[in-house]
């Protein structure tokens, strides 16, 4: 290389994978219950292609009642933590999430809960 005018060409190619999460089950339906009784279920959050440790946050819906009062009847718990970690084989460990609902007022709801990482994705 030092005084050799030979040319070398290096070609690189790759694929960029964006982190994503999927859910099992993919949607949630909680059973109707009497007022002020908790109903709950467990979902599995399956992270994919996270290259570094991250933490999941949840945006819970606020419900507006007929009299304009606002309530937050949903709650979530992560019994094993909210951190997405990378195992030694490069895969991400799934997270367990308990979702519960309780309301002292009659209400029904169809909508979304948003699970986001530290970068707002």
Domain-located, residue 5: no
Q: According to the model, what pLDDT value does residue 82 have?
A: 94
On average, the pLDDT of the chain sits at 88
Q: Regarding predicted confidence, which is higher, 5 or 45?
A: 45
Give the domain extent around 75: 20-116
CATH number for position 41: 2.60.40
Nearest to 108 by CA among 59, 60, 73: 73
Q: According to the model, what pLDDT value does residue 38 have?
A: 95
Radius of gyration of the chain measured on its C-alpha atoms: 22
105's CB contacts (< 8 A; 6+ apart) are 35, 65, 69, 71
The pTM for the full model equals: 0.78
What pLDDT digit, counting tens, does each position of 12-27 carry? Answer: 888 877 888 999 999 8
Domain-located, residue 26: yes
Domain-located, residue 6: no
Domain-located, residue 38: yes
What pLDDT digit, counting tens, does each position of 54-69 carry? Answer: 899 999 999 888 888 8
Q: Is the pLDDT assigned to residue 1 strictly greater than 60?
A: no
Count of domains forming the chain: 1
Domain-located, residue 77: yes
């Amino acid at each position: 290389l030092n005084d050799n005018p030979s040319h070398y060409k290096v070609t690189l190619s790759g694929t960029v994978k964006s982190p994503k999460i999927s859910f099992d089950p993919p949607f949630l339906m909680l059973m109707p219950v009497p007022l002020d009784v908790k109903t709950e279920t467990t979902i599995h959050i399956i992270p994919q292609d996270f290259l570094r440790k991250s933490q999941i946050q949840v945006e819970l819906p606020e419900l507006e009642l007929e009299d304009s009062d606002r309530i937050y009847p949903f709650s979530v718990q992560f019994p094993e933590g909210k951190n997405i970690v990378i195992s030694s084989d490069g895969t991400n460990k799934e997270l367990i999430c308990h979702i519960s609902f309780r309301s002292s007022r009659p209400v029904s709801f169809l909508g979304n809960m948003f699970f986001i990482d530290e970068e707002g994705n």
